């Protein structure tokens, strides 16, 4: 079998792109992360490959496009089976998909309600964000990773979002470590993995990006 | 193997519950649909089985709860393999999941923006709803079903939503048949299947439900 050509249409700070890169790293696959200029103008390839949402990430497997990060991570897991990211039994897979879906629906929007806020951050926005993390903390329990002893699907979906938490903390005036210590330990544990550490940006850089974004949008 | 005990915590008009019932019908499985009283008070079993969202459907497989209709339909397909609902190749599955996710994100909310509207329905709400259906029409193309010649996953996710379209049409003042004839033919085709016909309610009854709901909510 000739080597597959794997390309990600990428943006460095996007947690959704990071998911795809971590999944490929976990599988030990080589890929090209092709940066998109989201503010200057998206590539023709991006617009053609993801006509519905026109968003990164797009994953191209031998030229065939796939969109939506959670779906891409599932595809990667089904295409390259080792090491498995999703549990082997259908019930375990359904549980993992439930939490991945919960994270997709809740975390980024709730963090945005803090880091995008104009003036003082509403107390409700902070409460909601912490409530969501506490829910995840309950799902994590005393396990090392969401599925137990092994880093897997739900961890890949969740961990990229945490590099935005410093910005959320600085703008929101609280710390995740104090509110949700287990999520904080889990984050550190995940960041020790090479697959994660080599792609997740420095939270200070993400904070600078957020400040730049706030200026661009006229928030500050 | 003793017979599995399959229970759905159900509400007759919920398109999300209908998905689960159609998937089980397609697999030829017997189940008990246990009606929930969503307005009078949800059962302890529902609250305990779906603590995060407290919503129907919950699917109980030998007492083990599963939540979120799209995830439940995946689980059913992975647990009882024949006939398959999702395509056999990973790329086909990713495409099916993309459209299921698109439908989940767009259709019910867009229809609600019409049938819940107070006073005259905003033109933008109608335009958005029709735009979404036209996008689905493009995905359907000239095929009989979303995945080709065989009724499958995306059809199961989409078809239950169509029994609300009469209410949308009456309140919105347009017809899907005129705007999106292919979606209209596909709907008729799906409704000829026994798995669908025996559970999907009469659109007139759904319209009556919507009128009752609007009164309850003080819209009319």
* pLDDT tens digit sequence for B11-62: 999 999 999 999 999 999 999 999 999 988 999 999 999 999 999 999 999 9
Shared-domain flag, residues B71 and B96: no
Query: Which residues are bridge partners to A66 per DSSP?
Result: A59
Number of Cβ within a 10 Å radius of residue A209: 15
The yes-or-no verdict on residue B4 having pLDDT over 90 is: no
Q: What is the CATH number of the domain that holds B58?
A: 3.40.30.10
The pLDDT > 70 percentage for chain A reads 99
Domain endpoint, select from B24, B59, B79: B79
How far apart CA A96 and CA A79 sit, in angstroms, is 18
With beta carbons under 8 A apart, name residues in chain A contacting B67. Answer: 98
Does residue A48 lie in a domain region?
Answer: yes
pLDDT at res. A220: 87
Residue from the list B66, B68, B102 with its beta carbon closest to the beta carbon of A101: B68
- Tell me which residue has tokens 């949308």: B168
Show the domain range for B138. Answer: 90-216
pLDDT at res. A126: 97
Q: Residue A91 and residue B66: Cβ atoms within 8 Å?
A: yes
Query: Which residues are bridge partners to B9 per DSSP?
Result: B34, B58
Does residue A85 lie in a domain region?
Answer: no
Does residue B109 lie in a domain region?
Answer: yes
Q: For B61, name the nearest residue in chain A, comparing CA atoms only.
A: A91
Query: Which residues are bridge partners to A43 per DSSP?
Result: none
Does residue B1 lie in a domain region?
Answer: no
Does residue B75 lie in a domain region?
Answer: yes
pLDDT tens for residues A6-65?
Answer: 999 999 999 999 999 999 999 999 999 999 999 889 999 999 999 999 999 999 999 999
By three-state DSSP, how is residue A25 classified? helix
pLDDT at res. A40: 87
> Which residues have C-beta within 8 Å of that of residue A127, sequence separation ≥ 6?
none
pLDDT at res. B3: 79
Average pLDDT, chain B: 97
The contact set of B with A (CB < 8 A) is 52, 61, 64, 66-68, 71-72, 74-75, 78-79, 90-91, 93-94, 97-98, 101-102, 135
Shared-domain flag, residues A74 and A100: no
Average pLDDT over residues A66-78: 98
With beta carbons under 8 A apart, name residues in chain A contacting B61. Answer: 91
Q: What is the CATH number of the domain that holds A118?
A: 1.20.1050.10
Q: Residue A102 and residue B52: Cβ atoms within 8 Å?
A: yes
pLDDT bracket for residue A2 (50, 70, 90): low
Shared-domain flag, residues A97 and A75: no
Domain count across chain B:
2
Average pLDDT over residues A66-74: 98
Shared-domain flag, residues B103 and B192: yes
Interface test with A, best of B6, B53, B90 (most A CBs within 10 A): B90
The contact set of A with B (CB < 8 A) is 52, 61, 64, 66-68, 71-72, 74-75, 78-79, 90-91, 93-94, 97-98, 101-102, 135
How far apart CA B136 and CA A71 sit, in angstroms, is 18
- Rounded to the nearest angstrom, the minimum Cα separation between A7 and chain B is 16
Structure tokens at B35: 């009606």
Shared-domain flag, residues B56 and B152: no
Average pLDDT over residues B75-87: 97
pLDDT at res. B171: 97
Q: Say if residues A70 and A161 touch (Cβ distance below 8 Å).
A: no
Shared-domain flag, residues A115 and A197: yes
pLDDT at res. A144: 98
How far apart CA B128 and CA B126 sit, in angstroms, is 5
Q: For B139, name the nearest residue in chain A, comparing CA atoms only.
A: A52
Shared-domain flag, residues A38 and A69: yes
Shared-domain flag, residues A71 and A125: no
Average pLDDT over residues A117-146: 96
Counting every residue, how long is chain B? 220
Shared-domain flag, residues A155 and A113: yes
Q: Residue B98 and residue A61: Cβ atoms within 8 Å?
A: no
Shared-domain flag, residues A11 and A113: no
Average pLDDT, chain A: 97
Structure tokens at B72: 């439940």
What is the ipTM, given to two decimal places?
0.96
With beta carbons under 8 A apart, name residues in chain B contacting A91. Answer: 61, 64, 66, 75
Query: Angle at Cα A61 formed by Cα A56 and Cα A67, nearest 5°?
Result: 30
Domain endpoint, select from A34, A58, A79: A79
With beta carbons under 8 A apart, name residues in chain B contacting A94. Answer: 66, 71-72, 74-75
How far apart CA B200 and CA B152 sit, in angstroms, is 16
Instruction: Using the CB atoms, write b or e for B156-188: b if 16+ within 10 Å.
Output: bbbbbbbbbbbbbbbbbebebeebbebbbebbe
Number of Cβ within a 10 Å radius of residue A138: 11
Does residue B85 lie in a domain region?
Answer: no
pLDDT bracket for residue A124 (50, 70, 90): very high
Output the CA torsion sign for B87, B93, B96, B100.
Answer: positive
Shared-domain flag, residues A51 and A22: yes
Number of Cβ within a 10 Å radius of residue A20: 30
Does residue A198 lie in a domain region?
Answer: yes
pLDDT at res. B199: 98
> Which residues have C-beta within 8 Å of that of residue B92, sequence separation ≥ 6?
B86, B147
Shared-domain flag, residues B12 and B70: yes
By three-state DSSP, how is residue A32 classified? strand
Query: Angle at Cα A90 formed by Cα A86 and Cα A92, nearest 5°?
Result: 55
- Rounded to the nearest angstrom, the minimum Cα separation between A201 and chain B is 28
Does residue B84 lie in a domain region?
Answer: no
Interface test with B, best of A49, A89, A98, A105 (most B CBs within 10 A): A98
Average pLDDT over residues A200-205: 98
Domain endpoint, select from A55, A79, A103: A79
Q: Residue B90 and residue A68: Cβ atoms within 8 Å?
A: no
pLDDT at res. B2: 60
The yes-or-no verdict on residue B1 having pLDDT over 80 is: no
pLDDT tens for residues B145-185?
Answer: 999 999 999 999 999 999 999 999 999 999 999 999 999 99
Q: Residue B52 and residue A135: Cβ atoms within 8 Å?
A: yes
């Amino acid at each position: 079998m000739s080597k597959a050509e794997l390309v990600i249409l990428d943006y460095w700070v996007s947690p959704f792109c990071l998911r795809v890169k971590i999944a490929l790293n976990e599988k030990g696959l080589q890929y090209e992360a092709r940066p998109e200029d989201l503010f200057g103008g998206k590539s023709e390839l991006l617009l053609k490959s993801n006509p519905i949402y026109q968003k990164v990430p797009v994953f191209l497997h031998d030229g065939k496009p796939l969109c939506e990060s959670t779906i891409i991570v599932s595809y990667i897991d089904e295409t390259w089976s080792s090491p498995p990211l999703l549990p082997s039994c259908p019930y375990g897979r359904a549980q993992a998909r439930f939490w991945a879906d919960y994270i997709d629906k809740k975390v980024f929007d709730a963090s945005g309600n803090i880091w995008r806020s104009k003036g003082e951050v509403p107390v409700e926005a902070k409460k909601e964000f912490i409530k969501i993390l506490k829910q995840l903390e309950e799902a994590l329990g005393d396990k090392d990773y969401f599925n137990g002893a092994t880093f897997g699907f739900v961890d890949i979906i969740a961990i990229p979002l945490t590099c935005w938490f410093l910005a959320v903390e600085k703008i929101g005036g609280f710390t995740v470590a104090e509110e949700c210590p287990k999520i904080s330990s889990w984050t550190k544990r995940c960041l020790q993995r090479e697959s994660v550490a080599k792609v997740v940006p420095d939270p200070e850089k993400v904070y600078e990006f957020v400040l730049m974004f706030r200026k661009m949008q006229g928030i500050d």
